[in-house]
Amino acid sequence: MSYMGMEDRIRIESEADWDKRVLPVTLYQMLSETADKFPDHDAVSYQLLSGPTDKAETLSWKTLHGQISQAANMFRSMGIGEKDVVAYVLPNCNETILTLLGGCVAGIANPINPLLEPEQIGAILRETKAKIVVTLKPFPKTDVAQKVAEAVRHAPGVQTVLEVDLNRYLTPPKSWIVPLIRPKIEGKLHADYKSFSREIAKHPKTLQFEDSKSDRVACYFHTGGTTGMPKVAQHKYSGMIYNGWVGGKILLTEDDNLLCPLPLFHVMACHVILMGAVASGAHVVFPTPQGYRGEGVFDNIWKLTERWKITFIVSVPTALAAMMQRPIDADVSTVKTAFSGSAPLPLELFRKFEKATGVTIVEGYGMTEATCLVSGNPVDGLKKVGSIGIPFPYTDVKIIKQTPDGPLECAVDEIGEICVSNPGVFVGHTYTEEDKNKDLYYGGTHLRTGDLGRVDADGYLWITGRAKDLIIRGGHNIDPAEIEEALTGHPAVAFAGAIGQPDAHSGEIPCAFVELVGGGNVTVEELVEYCKKHVHERAAQPRYIEILDELPKTAVGKVFKPDLRKRAITRVFNAALEDGKIQARVVNVIDDKKRGLVAQLERNGADEADVQKALGDFIRPWEWAA
């Protein structure tokens, strides 16, 4: 499949010709070409605070090129070769961009989510064998520096920690106050702590070493959410360049301005938006360290759009829902469209957003394991709302089903696992841990995504659920997407997450958690009746529905189902213990690598045989809490 049926500007050669294209081999080559073409064009802008008149720092392509060269020189002088790792645990700021791109030029950049706990950050640092960590200097209202210090204590391979001071983005009197209230880190550390700004200033703005001569691994991106030990995916220059090329060829020009309040530890912001700008010369605006999570960002979103003359808004479904509830109090006539990724977009949310804002949404699909981009709805062509569009150029998608005779390709509209081949898929070496790559590819060429989906007669791709998210009720497979789609069709519901809760008889039964729209009013009983009418498969009708103030979500807006599963396990197990008049209670649910989710119980004087009798029929394991 290819991205066809569009205007002439995106009609391109056969997919087999990708390797024959005359393209930059390395990131630095692509960056240098763009800086030469558009030296005085704005490249990136950043503002620490969210107000439409707050201080901002803008770097031109010439300036950005020079500072990335400085960063690469600095890292190389600190012992970073092509196979060495520069990790960063940072919120969004211009130094984050310099670390990412400069780290890719000198060695391998390893972005890490600042919301992770020290144990997880430390595990990633050990897995990637990071030598340098770039993070925040202690700063009010954030514990990033403290968490990284704790993580570094457990990562003996880290030799240097470079600190970024956000105070330089503030103006007096706030900038005067920060040094007086700055938190301190206690305890002796083995790493050498240095100032990022002082160290980078020591180096020239032209590259002082020979750029890589061939394609190589340039990034390590961890996968997963906020529990468990994430896997680490490997990204090559070719994958980064491909993602940038797609943006530059299909979507962007040097005259575009993108508003990107997504985090710079996620592939969407790094490989699609930033690399799309590197390829095209477009301008990217990053508001606040926390992006959409930043104070005042949603309240100022339309005024920021007017300030920067934004043409593309980069978003996720949860952010679109919040934006929809803000009045348009500025001139947003420059906006062409809003991109939505990270999670499927409910049809009702699409309709509500377009009606409220007048802005069209383009939904796309990508994944960390494929560097990022896979498919997208055409900006100017036919959009099928709810689909994730057509595979991008040089991307081949196969829908595979497992049969007694082995894996087979599905027919049109037949559901199976989505498998992907494109220049962003590093076949055989997707993860740093070799055992994680076992059984990860179909036919030795196509990455198994773990997503269930189908392709319609027009070549549009539809996600129907996650293979591992299937609710298995007494051997009957239930796709949670059916339940979620029905619930989000209710006018009071903004988001829904359906999971299988433990059941002593059937193994699992469907249950759902919902988050309401602002001002939404509906009872659980009404939602249960609604599902009886709209969830057509009787076995899939949820036996339990709970309304939460807010569904747990990842940093990029996906409903985080492990937290919902833990919540359900705790509720069901405790109910079973209460019914048996047993005093033990679930106090925690942990994610064990071998056993999956395990309930930890506080004994409270209970007899182990009684607990086993009450919980023994559930397939989920339990243990005593330490």
Helix (H) or strand (E) holding 121: helix 118-128
Going by pLDDT thresholds of 50, 70 and 90, the confidence category of residue 373 is very high
Strand-pair category, 160-164 with 132-136:
parallel
375 domain residue, yes or no: no
**Nearest one of 397, 453, 460 to 15, comparing CA atoms:** 397
In a domain, 190, yes or no: yes
Look at residue 122 and give its three-state secondary structure. Answer: helix
Whether 523 maps to a domain, the answer reads yes
Please check whether residue 556 lies inside any domain of the structure.
Answer: no
CA dihedral (350, 249, 382, 374) positive or negative: negative
Average pLDDT estimate for 8-23 = 49
Which CATH number fits the domain that encloses residue 490?
3.30.300.30
Q: Are residues 483 and 613 in the same domain?
A: no
Domain match, 541 and 595 both: no
Distance CA 58, CA 285 (A): 9
The values of phi and psi at residue 511, to 5°, are: -140, 160
Whether 229 shows a pLDDT value over 80: the answer reads: no
Q: How confident is the model at residue 347 (pLDDT cuts 50, 70, 90)?
A: low
Domain assignment of residue 61, yes or no: yes
Same domain, 170 and 112: yes
Question: In terms of residue numbers, what domain contains 543?
Answer: 470-551
Nearest-angstrom CA–CA distance, 208 and 135: 25
- Does the pLDDT at position 8 exceed 80? no
The crossing angle, in degrees rounded to 10, of helices 27-37 and 94-106 is 130
Q: For residue 10, what pLDDT is reported?
A: 33
pLDDT digits (tens, 9 = 90+) for 480-528: 888 998 999 999 999 999 999 998 878 889 999 999 998 999 999 999 9
In a domain, 517, yes or no: yes
End residue of a domain, out of 163, 196, 230: 230
- Summarize pLDDT for 45-80 with one digit per residue, the tens: 999 999 999 999 999 999 999 999 999 999 999 999
Query: Is there a single domain that holds both residue 529 and residue 576?
Result: no
Pairing of strands 337-340, 312-315: parallel
- Write down the pLDDT at residue 475: 57
Residue with the bigger pLDDT between 463 and 208: it is 208
Mean of pLDDT values over 242-248: 94
- Residue 594's pLDDT is 57
Q: Which of 4-8, 289-293, 359-363, 372-376 has the lowest average pLDDT?
A: 4-8
What is the distance, to the nearest Å, from the Cα of residue 570 to the centroid of all Cα atoms in its chain? 27
Strand ranges (E), 48-177: 57-60, 85-89, 108-111, 132-136, 160-164
For residue 2, with 0-12 CB atoms within 10 Å meaning exposed, 13-18 middle and 19 or more buried, which class applies?
middle
> Does residue 533 sit in the same domain as residue 575?
no
Measured distance CA(330)–CA(51) in Å, rounded:
13
What band does 3 get if pLDDT is binned at 50, 70 and 90? Answer: very low
Distance CA 113, CA 593 (A): 20
Q: Identify whether residues 477 and 605 lie together within a single domain.
A: no
What pLDDT was estimated at residue 262? 93
Residue 348: band (very low, low, confident or very high) from pLDDT cuts 50, 70, 90:
low
Q: Do residues 73 and 102 share a domain?
A: yes
Asked whether residue 65 falls in the same domain as residue 194, the answer is yes
Is 486 a member of any domain? yes
Average pLDDT of every residue of the chain: 90
DSSP secondary structure, 531-558, as one string = HHHH--SGGGS-SEEEEESS--B-TTS-
H/E element holding 514? strand 507-516
For 538-560, how does the pLDDT look when each residue is reduced to its tens digit (9 = 90+)?
Answer: 888 999 999 999 999 987 778 89
Identify whether residues 546 and 574 lie together within a single domain.
no
Task: Give residue 537's pLDDT band: very low, low, confident or very high (50, 70, 90).
Answer: confident
* 203 class by beta-carbon count within 10 Å (0-12 exposed, 13-18 middle, 19+ buried): buried
Q: Where are the alpha helices (DSSP H) in 38-112?
A: 61-77, 94-106
List C-alpha distances in Å: 417 to 253, 397, 410, 452, 462: 35, 10, 9, 5, 11
List C-alpha distances in Å: 468 to 226, 451, 562, 568: 18, 8, 12, 17
Q: Are residues 475 and 583 in the same domain?
A: no
Total domain count, the chain: 3
The proportion of the chain whose per-residue pLDDT surpasses 90, expressed as a percent, equals: 70
Return the pLDDT at 188: 64
Report, as an integer, the average pLDDT of 167-173: 93
Q: How far apart are CA 222 and CA 226, in angstroms?
A: 11
CA proximity to 521, closest of 497, 494, 551, 558: 494
CA distance 121 to 154: 9
User: Phi, psi at residue 133, to the nearest 5°?
Assistant: -125, 130
Q: What is the pLDDT of residue 19?
A: 62
In-domain check, residue 239:
no
Residues 98 and 204 in one domain: yes
Each residue's pLDDT tens digit, 393-452: 999 999 998 877 888 999 999 989 999 999 999 999 999 999 999 999 999 999 999 888
Q: Output the pLDDT for position 325.
A: 80
**What value does the mean pLDDT take over residues 208-233?**
83
Average pLDDT score over residue span 233-255 = 94
C-alpha to C-alpha distance for 225 and 161, rounded to whole angstroms: 25
pLDDT for res 319: 85
How many Å apart are CA 546 and CA 511, to the nearest integer? Answer: 8
pLDDT of residue 570: 97
Domain boundary among 230, 264, 279: 230
Q: pLDDT at position 60, please? A: 98
Would you state the pLDDT for residue 225?
41
The residue out of 503, 523, 551 marking a domain boundary is 551
Taking only the tens place, the pLDDT of each residue in 264-309 is 999 999 999 999 999 999 999 999 999 998 999 999 999 999 999 9
188 and 61 share one domain: yes
